[in-house]
A = this chain, B = another copy of it.
């Protein structure tokens, strides 16, 4: 039992969303700032609709959330969602690492001061 919350489709969407440099840049921008979609769009050499689609892909993957503020939609990166991608990698690795190694990884994570500000929630 590893990532019970993450279905194969969810992992597909997660990695697919991450497999694009524009989308990864959007993630960086919307983690440091909280721009509207149109302001985001001005940062890239493509149309507003194209950026809108990228944001939609990220939103479907659960990597960003949108918050209505007036006539704008503020986009913000869900920091914990990247933790879900990490869990998907853990799940992959656990296959060939075995349970003992996995447990030691958990122990190592416990002894080290991991980030507390980004709670890794399996619930999406």
On A, residues with C-beta under 8 Å from B are 8, 11-16, 18-21, 24, 27-28, 31-32, 34, 77, 79, 82, 85-86, 88-89, 92-93, 95-97, 99-100, 103, 115-118
Contacts and interface: CB of A to CB of B under 8 A. Distances in A.
Nearest to A14: B19
Given A86-B89, A96-B77, A15 B19 contact: yes
A96 B8 CA distance: 27
Contacts of A85: 89
Copies of this chain held together in the complex: 2
Give the 10 A-B residue pairs with the shortest CB-CB distance, closest first: A31-B96, A15-B19, A32-B99, A16-B19, A15-B18, A28-B95, A8-B21, A15-B15, A32-B96, A12-B19
